[in-house]
Chain A
Amino acid sequence: MKHFFLASILAGAIALPAAAADYTIMAPAAPGGGWDQTARTMQTAMQQEKISDKVQVMNVPGAGGTIGIAQFASQQKGNPNALMVGGYVMVGAILTNKSPVTLKDVTPIARLTGEYEVIVVPAASEVKTMADLVEKLKADPGAVSWGGGSAGGTDHITAGLVAKAAGVDPTKVNYIAFSGGGEALAAILGGQVTAGISSYGEFEGQVKAGALRVLAISSDEKIEGIDAPTLKESGLDVVIQNWRMVAAAPGLSDEQKAAVTADIEKLAKSKTWQDNLKTKGWIDTYLAGPEFEEQLAKDITATEAILKDIGLVK
C-alpha cells in the first residue's frame, strides 16, 4: 500500500513537468485565459506542422503577466528554446504595477493575433446608439458605469479613450473591474452596469442570441458580420486592438533570434494556425522584425499617456 501510495505521487509529479522539449512556451497567466489559449494553440500547431517535435506549455499566473515576465527574464536568459506569450494587457500592467522588468528585458519576436473591443448594452437598455451613451456620459460621467475586465487592461483603457474623445474627463470614468470576462458578462446581462466593454469574442454568443446590442466597435473599418458602426463613425476618434505577441528570452545571439523568428513565421503562415484563428475568432495580425518593434514602442508610449489620463499611472 505504502509503495503504491508513494509510487502514485512520484508518477504524478513526474508526469506533470514533462521531460526536455524543443520549445517551452510560458503563458504568464492561469489556464483558461487568452494568453493560455494562445500558448496552447501555438503548441498544437507547432507540433502538428512539425516545426518542433515537442512543445511544452507552462503557466506562471499573476499580476497581468508581470510575475511571468520577471521570472522569464531572469531564469531563461540566453535560452534559445524558451518562448513567452504576452500582449497589450502586459504593456498596461507593467506600467500600473511599476514592474522592474519590462518588455525591454526580453526579445519581442512577433505580434500574432488581435481582437477588437466592442461596447455593448443589454437589449432592453434605453441606450440605443453610441450617441445616446455619449450624451449620458457628458451629462453625468459617474452615472455611466462600465463593466469590463481587470483594472488598467485593454477594456479599461478603451473606456478612458472613449471618454477623452467625447471631451469628458477620463478620471471621472466609473469603470467597474471584474475578474475575467465571465463575471463582467453576467453583470452586463443582469443590468448591473450601464454598458459593457470587452473583446467581441466575449460577447459574440449573446449578441447573436439578441440579448446584447453592440453600440460600436474599436476597429479602423467596419467588420464583416458585426452589425455595428466603428467608434470613428460614431464621431469618436478611437482605434484600439487587444493584440497578443510572442517573445523570446533575453541575451540571444543574432543567429538564435533569426532561427526563432523563422520558426514563428512558419507557425503564423501554417494551415493549422490559420484554421485555429478562424474557430477562435482571432484576427491574424502577424507582424515581425523592425516594423513590430516600432509598433510596440508606439503602443507603449500611447498606453502610458492614457493610463496617466485615467489616473492609474502617476
Chain B
Amino acid sequence: MSTFDFLMQGLVSAMEPINLLYALIGVTLGTMVGVLPGIGPATTVALLLPVTYQLDPTGSLIMFAGIYYGGMYGGSTTSILLNTPGESASIITALEGNKMARAGRGGPALATSAIGSFVAGLIATLALAFVAPYIVKLALVFGPREYFALMVLAFVTVSSAFGNSALRGLTSLFIGLALSLVGIDQLTGQNRLSFGVPDLLDGIEVTTMAVAMFAIGETLFIAAQGAQAPDKVEAIRGSVWMTAKDWARSWKPWLRGTVIGFPIGAMPAGGAEIGTFLSYAAEKRLSNHPEEFGNGAIEGVAGPEAANNASAAGTLVPLLTLGLPTSATAAIMLAGFQQYGLQPGPLLFATNPQLVWGLIASLLIANLMLLVLNLPLVGLWVRLLTIPKPWLYSGILVFATLGTIGANPSVFELGMLLVFGLVAYVMRVFDYPIAPVIVGLILGPLAEQQLRRALSISQGDVTTLVQSPIAAVLLGLAAIALILPLVLRLRGRGNVLTQMAASED
C-alpha cells in the first residue's frame, strides 16, 4: 500500500464517531489547560494517562494528539487578550497580539492565530506523513556545533527586534543571560549562583519568569498609573473578523512560520520557542509595514503562531521515526505507546502502520476541531476586555498566581513570581524592553551547553565551529544580519532603522 492509501485508511479510522469524540475531549481539555499559565500540555497528558488505560490504543493516542495541539493553541488566547503567555512558545505572540487587542483588533488577532495554527498544523501534519524520514536525516546532521551556530543566528536576528535603543535591549538580554546561569550546570553537575537555596538548583523556570515579566509587571504598571492611565481599552474597533487586508497580510507569514517551525521542531534540541523567535524576526524584516511592529502588526501574530503549531507536529517526527522523545509531552506519549507494548522507532511504521497513520489522521481531525471550536468563540473572548480595568487586572493577578502554584506548588516559586514582577515594573518605568530577558533565559543555556559540548568533543579546537558546512552557513548568515544594518546606518539610512525599531510595550 502506498503512503496515500495508508493515510486514507487512517482517516477512516479516525472518523469513527467514538474517535471523533475522543478528539473533541482532547482538544477541549488541551485548550483549557493551555490557557492556564505554567501548566503545559505535558502535565495534562500525564494526568490523563490513567484515564486512557481503558481505551484502545488508537482512541487514547487520538486523545493525546488532541490535548497536544489544544495546549499549543490555548496559550495564545491569554497571550493576546491578557498579555499573559500560557506557555513559553506563545511568549512572542503577546508582543504584537496584545497591542492589537488593546487597539480594538483582538478579534482579527485571535482569528489570524487560530487560522494560522490550523494552516500550519495542516501543512506540518501532511509533511509529517510524507517527508518525515527525510526531515529526520536532516535533524540528525545537527550536532552541538550546528546547534550553536543556530543559536548565534537566533541571538543576532532577535536582538534586532529589541526596541528603539540597542543599549537598553542588550541590557535586558544580559539580565536574562545572567539569570539563565542560575542552577546546576548540566555538563558538570555543579551548582552555579544558587546561594545554597535548593529551589534555585534547577534554575529559573521560564514560564514563571514570563508570567512575572508580562502579567505581574504590567498589572503593577497599570495600577501605579492610577486613574490617569491614558489608554482607554476599546474592545472592538471595526470588524471582529479579519478583513481582506488582514488576510492579505497574514497568509505569507503563516506559510513562512510553518517552514521555519516544522524543521526546528523536528530537531532533538530545537524546541518550539526558537521557531517563534526566528519567525518574528523574519516577519519584521520582510514586512511592508515595519513601523507597525511594536504597535500591533498582524504579521507578528500570524508568523509565530504558525511556527509554534508547526513545531508541535515537527516534534512527532523524531518520536515516530526514531522513538526519540524531544519534549516532555512527547516523552509521555512514548509512555502511552509502551503501555500497549508498542515501541516507537524505526520499526513502528513497518510493524504498526494502522496506528501510526491513525495518529497522523487524528492530528488532522484535531486540527480542524480546534478551528471549529475556537473561531465562534472569538467574539466572546474579546468581550473580556470590556471588563472594568481594576476587575480585569485583579483577575489577571489571581489567574497568574493560580497557574504558577498549580504548576509548581512551592512558596519560593510564588516569591520569585512577585520579585520578578517588581523587577519588570521597574524596567517598564525606565523604558527597558521585557522580551529580551525571556529570550536570554531560553537561548542562553542552549547556546552555552552546545558550545561547550562542541568544544569538548573537539578537545578544545575552536575551528571545529566552522568546519561543518551547515554551521559555517548559519554563522555566515548571522554575520550578515549583524553587519548589514551597521553598513546601512553608516550610509545615512539610520533614520529608517530607527523607525523600524519599536518598543514592544
Contacts and interface: CB of A to CB of B under 8 A. Distances in A.
A63 interface: yes
Interface stretch (A102-110, A200-208, A240-248, A252-260): A200-208
A59 interface: yes
Nearest to B144: A192
A30 interface: yes
Contact of B345 (A2, A40, A183, A209): A209
A186 B328 contact: no
B189 A312 contact: yes
A9 interface: yes
A190 B328 contact: no
Contacts of A193: 457
A186 B453 CA distance: 14
B132 to A, nearest CB: 15
A183 B326 contact: yes
A172 to B, nearest CB: 11
A47 B191 CA distance: 39
Contacts of B131: none
A97 B199 CA distance: 12
B459 interface: yes
Contact of B143 (A96, A151, A190): A190
A301 interface: no
Of B32, B49, B198, B323, most buried by chain A (CB within 10 Å of CB) is B198
Interface stretch (B98-106, B330-338, B430-438, B492-500): B330-338
B46 A32 contact: yes
Interface stretch (A12-20, A161-169, A225-233, A291-299): A12-20
A285 interface: no
Majority DSSP secondary structure for residues of B touching A: helix
B322 A31 contact: no
Contacts of B345: 204-206, 208-209
A310 to B, nearest CB: 10
Nearest to A211: B346
A6 interface: yes
Interface string B388-404: 00010001001100100
A8 B268 CA distance: 35
Interface in A186-244: 186-187, 189-190, 192-193, 204-206, 208-209, 211
A186 B457 contact: no
Nearest to A10: B402
B325 A8 contact: no
Contacts of A142: 459
A180 B338 contact: no
Nearest to B188: A151
Contact of A67 (B202, B331, B344, B391): B202
Question: Nearest 9 CB-CB pairs, A to B?
Answer: A205-B345, A32-B331, A62-B202, A151-B189, A192-B143, A209-B346, A63-B201, A31-B46, A186-B268
Given A97-B201, A186-B268, 9 more contacts: A16-B406, A31-B43, A31-B45, A32-B325, A63-B183, A67-B202, A97-B184, A98-B191, A151-B188
19 contacts: A9-B399, A16-B39, A31-B42, A31-B43, A60-B408, A63-B184, A97-B184, A101-B198, A150-B189, A182-B324, A183-B326, A186-B142, A186-B268, A186-B269, A190-B141, A204-B343, A205-B323, A205-B343, A209-B347
Interface of A: 1-2, 5-6, 8-9, 12-13, 16-17, 30-33, 36-37, 40, 43-44, 47, 57-64, 66-67, 70-71, 93, 96-101, 142-143, 145, 150-152, 156, 174, 176-183, 185-187, 189-190, 192-193, 204-206, 208-209, 211, 279-280, 312
